[in-house]
Structure 1
Amino acid sequence: MGDVNVPRFPAALSTPSLNRGVGFTHEERRRLGLTGRLPSAVLTLEQQAERVWRQLQTMATDLGRNLLLEQLHYRHELLYFKMLTDHLPELMPVVYTPTVGEAIQRFSDEYRGQRGLFLSIDQPEDVGPAFETLGQGPDDIDLIVCTDAEAILGIGDWGVGGIQIAVGKLALYTAGGGIDPRRTLAVSLDVGTDNEQLLQDPFYLGVRHGRRRGEEYDKFIDHYIETAHQMFPRALLHFEDFGPANARKILQKYGSKYCVFNDDVQGTGAVVVAAVDGGTEANGTRFRDQRIIVFGAGTAGIGVADQIRDAIVADGATIEQAESQIWAIDKQGLLFDDMADLRDFQVPYAKNRRELGVAPGERVGLLEAIKLASPTVLLGSSAVSGAFTQEVVEAMTACCERPMIFPLSNPTSRMEAMPVDIVQWSKGKALIATGSPAAPVEYNGVTYTIGQANNVLVFPGIGLGVIISGARLLTQGMLHAAAKAIALLANPKDPGDSLLPDVCDLRSTSAAVAEAVYEAAVADGVATRTHDNVKQAIQDTMWWPTYD
């Protein structure tokens, strides 16, 4: 038997960023060598999108929809982003939280190919060559999202499957912020996993050993960051779902050196600051006058506390005053400075027992802390369902006329309280924002629209603002400007108004955030690009899925 000639598959069909499927005209098919490779009909992008939308409607589960869209993303990028752009509110829960968590858990079972780079701690020498396989020049990548998958959403350590959280994040950067997907990159930093279910799975696709820590881990992360910056010096380096200690360590080490961003810490903080800012507008107070309890003092909770502290300082207080106005509660109760197991990032918010009249070793729970602090704001980042009881809400309304109560934990099953209960228990006085989507609440003839403190309100605009400014660093001023821009878009005036803008108009929100971030980058002296008409520059930079 002679040699077999393998049929050539045209690049125009095998390259996701080039493929138009049956959208190729007959003239394009002849020119690109596609004659006979496609059915004869020629469909517009809109017609193709309608076909996919109908296919999605026939599927029984969001996981099935996620897998269909993932295959489309891998095959036909323009059509994928046309779907997301046209149906973002409906599809965001499918391509990102909560469905992406299930897809990550099934990554090795459902693997059909994946976008992005896979970098292994077992082959650090391959980091540079892996970047080189992209064939991209130093100005060709604007944004890199990486994860080591230690703290994926609410499901923990899922190893190499975490690449999908990076891909999902980038999809929202594009659909919500107009960032060109051809100028982005998802990266899996595979440092092992402590998930025994994965290690015992014969089909698991990641490195098969426990999660590396300490010096070996630090050297690998350093090598990745330095290589990524060397290859793409203008790119924003986004870190997603790292463990608490590593997330803050990376920000502290590289935040003043390169343009780095951690959405779990900085993005969450910025959108909550925006909600609090909206609350001060609604109840006629100043940001610097707020007293805040953070219920859940982990990475996300303290990240929010740090952003709120900086916003209080920006409104005229000292750092010491701002920190004294923030009270943090963890599983051991209110944090005190004599606790042996305090993490370094919790220390600024730990209180002195003697000053509060609390006996040594005495545990102070949430209700007692409210009585001590007389807070105006209660933030939940604990994932403790039902923690904000009727007694807690009533105690908050006793402290101030219109308290802000934000059960921010995801998913809905882990929310500290349901908005309908908070409205009723507070007799309509509480100002509410949630981490999960929540339906409007009717009470005494008023419709209360519940704003969702979703990071997607902020990170696409931050990314776009960094790109148009060419920012060397992501400064605190830029984060504060992003939060302020979001608050101004909501501008709650009447009872029941949302404290935050709706994700339905995300492109407009991202444009406003990008403009504010750009102006702050210029003011902070970190911008390397300037524009006479920044609004026009934003519109010119925004990418749209089109065949034109």
Structure 2
Amino acid sequence: MESTMKDLRGGESVLDMSPRSTVGGGVEDVYGEDRATEEQLVTPWVSSVASGYNLLRDPRYNKGLAFSEKEREAHYLSGLLPPALMTQKLQEKKLMNSIRQYQVPLQKYIALMELEERNERLFYKLLIDNVEELLPIVYTPTVGEACQKYGSIFRRPQGLFISLKEKGKILEVLKNWPERAIQVIVVTDGERILGLGDLGCQGMGIPVGKLSLYTALGGVRPSACLPITIDVGTNNEKLLNDEFYIGLKQKRATGKEYYDFLHEFMTAVKQNYGEKVLVQFEDFANHNAFELLAKYGTTHLVFNDDIQGTASVVLAGLVASLKLLGGTLADHTFLFLGAGEAGTGIAELIALEMSKQTNAPLEELRKKIWLVDSKGLIVSSRKESLQHFKKPWAHEHEPVNNLLDAIKAVKPTALIGTSGVGKQFTKEVVEAMAALNEKPLIMALSNPTSQAECTAEEAYKWTKGRAIFASGSPFDPVEFNGKLYVPGQANNCYIFPGFGLGLVMSGTIRVHDDMLLAASEALAKQVTDEHYAQGMIYPPFSNIRKISANIAADVAAKAYELGVATRLPRPENLVKFAESCMYTPNYRSYR
């Protein structure tokens, strides 16, 4: 292999090791973290040895003031850093103090993104050790505001922007990304960002945020993650008229032009990264989301977090809540406000789980689930005018125009909000649920917080403390009549990082509904009696890496059972294997 000798002080290469690096002489494990530990000496190189000023500019290897005197001498860092030595733990303390000084969540978001750009391991250390505090910053609700202002806070490429200008050249564009061993891609076209609508190219904040959680919560290596935004234009007039908008200034491509472009993208991804790369669709509009999932589910490893991730996490909460509600899933009646990709996705997974438990036909069990959309209860007399994904939920019933009347007619035990519209669970609606049920289950799932169907405080107050409540965005604990209630957060972050890790570590080539059921059941099992005592139906986020390892193990086990896992032989202990594959952000000692 040809070597190039250049001046080390300039940080240029002394050893070409492409296509993949080895670290400290050990081969990087394609299934997860390279196995070097804190105690082992490693050499900081990717395709070249990094040293001097360039080492400090490389976020993957930069340790700031944590470089020892010996390392500073060996890697030409003398004089480039102040003389103080600071451990990673002390750096973490200092940065958390600094981040807590900011009053505005978006300022905290920008500070964290800047940290990731200069010191990757410290960023992930902060996120893992302070997950409950920082999750609302790097993800919902703050990431929504970050997307709205992404044009003004954009600093450097955090992923790939693939626009219609690249039609016919997408494979070449993918090859511009420096990493080759990609395991997870999160892609959006920006048309339906959270509950905020069409943000076009500025939707990039979502794939970036999701993948930082794949690493922090699921342990997938940062270098194996690739955020992508597909820019086919935007119908947001405000953005089209904004001189600082960073995307294509044209109306959205639709129909054949859109689907041909997406097909070129999906073909190029498989060609460049292989059969086992996971493509997670994120925040596509309903019609496209269902179409893409159906089209590529049989040919690629694809997952839609809005349809499948949301469904899996909500099902986990429902399974866990049975301990408080009593009975089986099939004993309950579910009413949804919202019949888009989230609502229908959750409904279908609930029906699948009930079918699995009872061996009854799916069509029969769907009748336990009712959906309300903007025109009222979905009933059979409306079938001709319904979108295809709503049709399975059109049951025999006279028309009902609003949610309150639907509750009185259907008498649900669980009310689930996926409408994307805030304040829809009014006092009358919640009181109607409380009148029908001793313990009404109320899930206000729309994001961000401003779009929640009701707040935790309203749910507990209007039901006199009887509600079992969960939301999509975080709410603080609520004290009512001297008792502290801890609201659950039905956050997809519980599911997708562990789910993705399970697929990656087993070399799975297709996603199956049974894997989603396995993920839901694995999450529900993590709720303890202590959690139930506080009214919780989800475990605390502080244990998220342990939760993710257990979900990954159960998902991988199901993949082996279904014959779609390619990593052979199957590891004996899948939980231990999942833990061993997880990226850990502790600093290494460089020789």
Question: Normalization by structure 2: what TM-score?
Answer: 0.86
Q: Contact 1:147 / 1:162 at 8 angstroms: preserved in 2?
A: yes
Secondary structure of the structure 1 residue equivalent to 2:165: coil
Q: Contact 1:479–1:517 at 8 Å: present in 2 too?
A: yes
> How far apart, in 2, do the equivalents of 1:114 and 1:543 lie?
23
Matched AA of 1:119: I
In the TM superposition, residue 428 of structure 1 has moved relative to its aligned partner by: 3.5
Q: Which residue of 2 aligns with 1:377?
A: 414
Q: Which 5+ residue runs of structure 1 have no aligned equivalent? A: 1-6
Q: Which residue identity is paired with 2:59?
A: P
Shift of 1:495: 5.2
Residue aligned with 2:336, SS: strand
C-alpha distance in 2 between matches for 1:225 and 1:119: 12
Specify the alignment match of 1:72 in structure 2. Answer: 115
2:381 to 338, 352, 366: 338
Task: Determine whether 1:456 maps to 2:493.
Answer: yes
Residues 232-275 of structure 1, C-alpha deviation per residue, up to 9 Å, x if partnerless?
12211111111111111111111122111111111111111011
Partner residue of 1:200? Answer: 241
Cα distance in 1 for residues equivalent to 2:582 and 2:235: 40
Give SS of 2:319's match: helix
Task: List per-residue Cα deviations over 1:14-40 (Å, max 9, x = no partner).
Answer: 322122222223333333333332222
81, 86, 105: which one pairs with 1:62?
105
CA distance in 2, matches of 1:369, 1:363: 6
* Greater alpha carbon shift after TM alignment, 446-455 vs 468-477: 446-455
2:124 to 81, 100, 103: 81
Name 1:45's counterpart in structure 2.
88
Query: Greater relative contact order (Cα 8 A, min sep 6): structure 1 or 2?
Result: 2
Contact 1:236–1:261 (Cα < 8 Å) also in 2: yes
| C-alpha distance in 2 between matches for 1:546 and 1:130 | 33
Q: Is the 8 A contact 2:422 2:453 kept in 1?
A: yes
Contact 1:141 1:185 in 2 (8 A): yes
Aligned match of 1:231: 272
Say yes or no: does 1:159 pair with 2:196: no
Q: CA deviation at 1:478?
A: 0.6
Does residue 396 in structure 1 map to residue 433 in structure 2? yes
- Partner secondary structure for residue 192 of structure 1: coil
* Residue of structure 1 aligned with 2:565, choices 523, 527, 532: 527
User: 1:307-341 CA distances to partner (integer Å, 9 max, x unpaired)?
Assistant: 11211111123111121111110110001233353
For 1:254-403, list aligned pairs within 5 A.
Answer: 254-316=296-358, 317-339=360-382, 340-352=384-396, 356=397, 358=398, 362-403=399-440
- 2 CA distance for matches of 1:509 and 1:61? 31
> Mapping of 1:114-153 within 5 angstroms?
114-137=157-180, 140-153=181-194
Deviates more, 1:42-51 or 1:506-515: 42-51
Shift of 1:342: 1.2
Contact 2:502–2:555, Cα closer than 8 Å, also in 1 = yes
Hey, what does 1:183 align to over in structure 2?
Answer: 224
Q: Does 2:468 match 1:468?
A: no
Rounded to whole Å, the distance in 2 between the matches of 1:498 and 1:338 is 39
Q: Deviations over 1:420-462 (max 9, x none)?
A: 3333433433322122222333345543321111111111110
Per mean C-alpha deviation after superposition, the further-off stretch among 10-19 and 269-278 is 10-19
Partner secondary structure for residue 56 of structure 2: helix
CA contact (8 A) 1:101 1:153 kept: yes
For each residue in 1:274-328, what CA deviation from the matched residue of structure 2 results, as whole angstroms up to 9, or x when unmatched? 1111122222211122211111112211121121121111112311112111111
Change (3 A) 1:37 1:518: same
**Are the aligned partners of 2:468 and 2:535 in contact in 1 as well (CA < 8 Å)?**
no
Inter-CA distance 371–57: structure 2 relative to 1 (3 Å threshold): closer
Match of 2:4 in 1: none
Q: Does the 8 A contact of 1:281 with 1:492 survive in 2?
A: no
Distance in 2 between residues matched to 1:445 and 1:61, nearest whole Å:
32
Q: Which amino acid aligns with 1:462?
A: F
Flag the 1:429–1:218 CA change in 2: closer, same or farther, 3 A. same
Identity of aligned residues (%): 39
Is 1:35 the counterpart of 2:73 in the alignment? no
> Once the 2 structures are TM-superposed, how far is the Cα of residue 92 of structure 1 from its aligned partner?
1.2
1:160 counterpart SS class: helix
Paired residue for 2:549?
511
**Aligned match of 2:579:** 539
**What 5-or-longer segments of structure 2 have no aligned partner?**
1-8, 12-52
Work out the CA distance in 1 between the residues paired with 2:416 and 2:537.
14
Question: How does 1:93-132 map onto structure 2 within 5 Å?
Answer: 93-132=136-175
SS at match of 2:280: strand
Q: Which residue of structure 1 lines up, in the alignment, with residue 254 of structure 2?
A: 213
- Whichever residue aligns with residue 538 of structure 1, its letter is A
Compared CA separation, residues 49 and 377, structure 1 to 2 (3 A): same
Aligned to 2:475: 438
Deviates more, 1:31-40 or 1:58-67: 31-40
Indicate the SS of the match to 1:188. strand
- The separation in 2 between residues aligned to 1:280 and 1:299, in whole angstroms, is 25
Instruction: Tell me: CA distance 1:69–1:427, structure 2 relative to 1, closer, same or farther (3 Å).
Output: closer
Q: Any conservation in 2 of the 1:335–1:349 contact (CA below 8 Å)?
A: yes
In the alignment, structure 1 residue 428 sits paired with structure 2 residue 465? yes
Aligned residue type for 2:518: A
Q: Distance in 2 between matches of 1:458 and 1:73?
A: 24
The change in CA–CA distance for 1:445 and 1:68 in structure 2 (over 3 A counts) is closer
- Whether the 8 Å contact between 1:282 and 1:492 is mirrored in structure 2 is no
| Worse-matched range after superposition: 427-436 or 184-193 | 427-436
Paired with 1:208 and 1:250, the residues of 2 have a C-alpha distance of 24
Deviations 1:52-89 (A, max 9, x none): 22221232311111111111112211111111112111
1:17 paired residue number? 60
Contact 1:471–1:521, Cα closer than 8 Å, also in 2? yes
Q: How far apart are 1:492 and its partner, in Å?
A: 5.1
Pick which of 296-305 and 425-434 moved more.
425-434
Secondary structure of residue in 1 paired with 2:162: strand
SS at match of 2:168: helix
Q: Quick one: structure 1 residues 445 and 117, their matched pair in 2 at CA, closer, same or farther if it must change by over 3 Å?
A: same
Match of 1:29, SS state, is helix
- Counterpart secondary structure, 1:409: coil
Distance 2:113 2:449 in 1: 25
Q: Which deviates more from structure 2 when the two are superposed, residues 290-299 or residues 266-275?
A: 290-299
1:281–1:491: 8 Å Cα contact kept in structure 2? no
Mapped partners of 2:54, 2:121: distance in 1: 15
Partner of 1:251: 293
User: Over aligned residue pairs, what C-alpha RMSD do you find?
Assistant: 2.0
Residue correspondences, number: 533
Residue 490 of structure 1: SS of its match in structure 2? coil
Aligned mates of 1:42, 1:429 — CA distance in 2 = 54
What per-residue deviation string (whole Å, max 9, x for no partner) do you get for residues 391-432 of structure 1?
333433444433322122223333222333333433433322
Deviates more, 1:110-119 or 1:438-447: 438-447
Any conservation in 2 of the 1:491–1:499 contact (CA below 8 Å)?
no
Q: Which amino acid aligns with 2:163?
A: S
Query: Is 2:447 the partner of 1:410?
Result: yes
